Amino acid sequence: MHQGSLFTALPQADAILTHMRSGKTITQFEALNKYGCMRLASRIHDLRRAGHVITCTKIKTKRGKTIGSYSLV
């Protein structure tokens, strides 16, 4: 992670973790809309490195696109 992005990445990771701790899943679209996070996979990586167990379930959208839905285990 670049030092300049550290200040935005940490609050985003905390917000995403809080979101998942409430029992909800999160997708890239939700992360962008709710938390301004354009790089959800990077925040998930940061959380995993911090010791959190997070799974990714592939889901199909109404338009047939496959996306990842992340959840805390």
> Which amino acid, one-letter code, is at 10?
L
Q: Which residues contact 32 (CB under 8 A, 6 or more apart)?
A: 38, 40
pLDDT of residue 4 exceeding 90, the answer is no
pTM of the model: 0.84
DSSP E strands, the chain? 54-60, 66-72
Provide the pLDDT confidence category of residue 8 given band limits of 50, 70 and 90.
low
37-69 pLDDT tens trace: 999 999 999 999 999 999 999 999 999 999 999
34-43 pLDDT tens trace: 999 999 999 9
Looking at residue 44, what is its pLDDT? 97
Q: Which residues contact 47 (CB under 8 A, 6 or more apart)?
A: 13, 16, 17, 54
Domains, the chain, in order of start with CATH, read 3-72 (1.10.10.10)
